[in-house]
């Protein structure tokens, strides 16, 4: 496994044999089963696999957890090696944002709602770093988790709008046995807060059950999520949403599918989760 901070070396390795297909898993490290499931998909569908580990400062607001974000490079590299990854790109901040850097990718409508409303500069940072990583690694396919549902919509939109020659593949959420979606930020949760954090999944399951029993009114489903969160005293709701999965606009009535998502604070830790509701064939 080649581990490098060097952009030229990544490109050289990528094009050493142009006949190979490359799957790429961009990460911010602190790897868990969710990331490893992306690596396994990439491994199954490509002849080579690249990953990146980079805690991207431009997607954190000054008030957010950039400094506290978990960093465990040696452990992450071991996990990637065990999955048979061929190349890991671990750039420094000056490699990614050298002095004089001044070009950003700004995706418009789909970044204004949900996570973007609560974190107004977040997706500009994500789109910019992902565009750079795509240009550096030049993968055949890139793998993202459904857990960050809006991020997948933003990246698909950017790839379409800017004609990146990359297939974006979205893989299912991986959950703990009690339903909590895997996240590097789960490391901030302990004791009764960790137990309380299952309320996101419980709220989504309540919505799914109501949908399966015929409920199609989006506001009723949003209210169900709000009520479930309100019943958990350690949780503070940021938002709930029942939206069109492509445009992310809030729905009145669910016609064929909906992205149900929510963000909840536990102290300073903010968790997100989602499910897609779909009419069965």
- Least distance from ligand PAF to the Cβ atom of residue 101, Å: 16
CA distance 250 to 241: 7
Which of residues 183 and 228 has its CB atom nearest to ligand PAF in the complex?
Answer: 183
In sequence order, which residues have a C-beta less than 8 Å from that of residue 107 and are 6 or more positions away?
Answer: 123, 127, 154, 157, 158, 161
- Least distance from ligand PAF to the Cβ atom of residue 275, Å: 19
Instruction: Note whether 232 binds ligand PAF by CB under 6 A.
Output: no
In sequence order, which residues have a C-beta less than 8 Å from that of residue 213 and are 6 or more positions away?
Answer: none
Give the chain's length.
281
Instruction: Note whether 37 binds ligand PAF by CB under 6 A.
Output: no
213 is catalytic: no
Question: 49, exposed or middle or buried, with CB in 10 Å at 0-12, 13-18, 19+?
Answer: buried
Q: Which stretch binds ligand PAF (CB under 6 A): 9-17, 21-29, 66-74, 252-260?
A: 21-29
- Least distance from ligand PAF to the Cβ atom of residue 248, Å: 17
Instruction: Note whether 203 binds ligand PAF by CB under 6 A.
Output: no
Instruction: Note whether 150 binds ligand PAF by CB under 6 A.
Output: no
Residue 103: both structure tokens together: 């070009």
- Least distance from ligand PAF to the Cβ atom of residue 243, Å: 20
Pick from 22, 23, 27, 254 the residue near ligand PAF by CB under 6 A.
27
Tokens 């807060």 correspond to: 193
Cα-only R_g, the chain: 19
According to CB under 6 A, which residues from 105 to 144 bind ligand PAF? 126, 129-130
In sequence order, which residues have a C-beta less than 8 Å from that of residue 238 and are 6 or more positions away?
Answer: 118, 262, 263, 264, 265, 270
Active-site residue numbers? 35
Residues that bind ligand PAF (CB under 6 A): 26-28, 56, 59, 126, 129-130, 148, 151
């Amino acid at each position: 496994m080649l581990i490098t901070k060097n952009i030229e070396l990544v490109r050289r390795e990528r094009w050493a044999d142009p006949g190979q297909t490359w799957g790429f898993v961009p990460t911010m490290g602190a790897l868990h089963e969710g990331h490893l499931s992306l690596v396994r998909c990439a491994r199954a569908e490509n002849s080579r696999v690249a990953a990146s580990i980079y805690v991207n400062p431009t997607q954190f607001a000054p008030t957010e957890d950039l400094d506290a974000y978990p960093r465990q490079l040696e452990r992450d590299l071991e996990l990637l090696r065990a999955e048979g990854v061929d190349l890991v790109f671990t750039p420094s901040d000056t490699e990614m944002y050298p002095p004089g850097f001044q070009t950003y990718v700004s995706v418009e409508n789909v970044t204004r709602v949900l996570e973007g409303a609560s974190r107004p500069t977040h997706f500009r940072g994500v789109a910019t770093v992902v565009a750079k990583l795509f240009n550096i690694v030049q993968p055949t396919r890139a793998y993202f988790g459904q857990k960050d549902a809006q991020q997948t919509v933003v990246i698909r939109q950017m790839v379409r709008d800017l004609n990146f020659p990359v297939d974006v593949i979205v893989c299912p959420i991986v959950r703990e046995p009690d339903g909590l979606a895997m996240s590097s930020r789960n490391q901030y949760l302990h004791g009764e807060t960790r137990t309380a954090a299952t309320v996101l999944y419980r709220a989504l399951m309540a919505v799914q059950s109501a949908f399966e029993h015929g409920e199609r009114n989006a506001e009723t489903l949003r209210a169900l999520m709000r009520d479930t969160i309100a019943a958990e005293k350690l949780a503070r709701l940021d938002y709930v949403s029942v939206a069109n999965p492509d445009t992310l606009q809030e729905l009145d009535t669910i016609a064929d599918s909906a992205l149900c998502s929510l963000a909840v604070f536990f102290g300073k830790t903010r968790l997100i989760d989602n499910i897609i509701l779909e009419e069965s064939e």
